[in-house]
Amino acid sequence: MSALLGIVFPVTFTGHGQLPAKLHSSRRRLVVKSSNSSSERQILFNRIAPVYDNLNDLLSLGQHRIWKNMAVSWSGARTGDKVLDLCCGSGDLAFLLSEKVGPSGKVMGLDFSSEQLAVAASRQKLRGRSCYKCIEWIEGDATDLPFDDCEFDAITMGYGLRNVVDRRRAMREMYRVLKPGCRVSILDFNKSNQSVTTFMQDWMIDNIVVPVATLYDLAKEYEYLKYSISEYLTGEELETLALEAGFSSARHYEISGGFMGIWSP
């Protein structure tokens, strides 16, 4: 779900702030394409957890790995840093971050899906390098972070913000827990102003993503992708959101077919 033929875009923000809501797991089978409550989305991501990684590789032809590497580079994470990966899912960006910060650093991977975190933890066990031991998985809500002010040297978020119901609050939380002068790097699908791009995105979701997901009995869950992009923010709107949250600057670039974003000082 995260990546599809280059139709993604990260945006990074700097700056240096506060806030709090709680979510509870539910076993209800409630997944709809216009899923627009946090608990519905939590259920959705729990359900897709067992196949999420395989589908990412399949649907992006492996390209999501390149984009995630870029997002981690843009975060500016360095050896020994304490960093946060929000909406970490099965942990791709957290693993990449741990390679940057090394065993002397610390990576916190936070997500509200216990099933995604279980996949992340089992992947961690299978990995031998010492740097992976510096990752801690935390079940929590991106809009109510269980961290102190100014705790992190860098924050990443891959394909997360689009799925967060209260994005304004999530952005303010990122601002609060980030140290002054440090950077947030956000990677996601682009909500384009170009009708051709939107048409291509919709076409690929309808004709490639959903049919493939149907093979895993996850059609409805992946139909949600189209909805989530349509109600996401454009690059300009994301920049405004970051500035309103207190960040000193924010820059969104489209890449990969014209749709990826990066912060510039």
Ligand X SMILES: C[S@@+](CC[C@H](N)C(=O)[O-])C[C@H]1O[C@@H](n2cnc3c(N)ncnc32)[C@H](O)[C@@H]1O
Site for ligand X, rule CB under 6 A: 1-2, 38, 41, 45, 87-89, 92-93, 111-113, 116, 141-143, 158-160, 163-164
Shortest Å distance, C-beta 117 to ligand X: 8
Alpha helix (H) residue ranges in 5-147: 38-60, 63-75, 92-101, 114-126
Shortest Å distance, C-beta 4 to ligand X: 12
Shortest Å distance, C-beta 228 to ligand X: 9
Nearer to ligand X, 3 or 134 (CB): 3
Residues 6+ apart with CB under 8 A from 1: 48, 52, 55, 56, 59, 159, 209, 222, 225
Number of helical H runs and strand E runs in the chain = 9, 7
Which letter, b or e, does each residue of 161-196 get, where b requires 16 or more Cβ atoms within 10 Å of its Cβ? bbbbbebebbbbbbbbbbbeebbbbbbbbbbbeeee
The answer to whether the CB of 107 falls within 8 A of the CB of 93 is no
Nearer to ligand X, 67 or 247 (CB): 67
Nearer to ligand X, 41 or 226 (CB): 41
Nearer to ligand X, 85 or 254 (CB): 85
Shortest Å distance, C-beta 116 to ligand X: 4
Nearer to ligand X, 1 or 83 (CB): 1
Residue nearest to ligand X (CB): 89
Shortest Å distance, C-beta 25 to ligand X: 11
Distance CA 62, CA 44 (A): 23
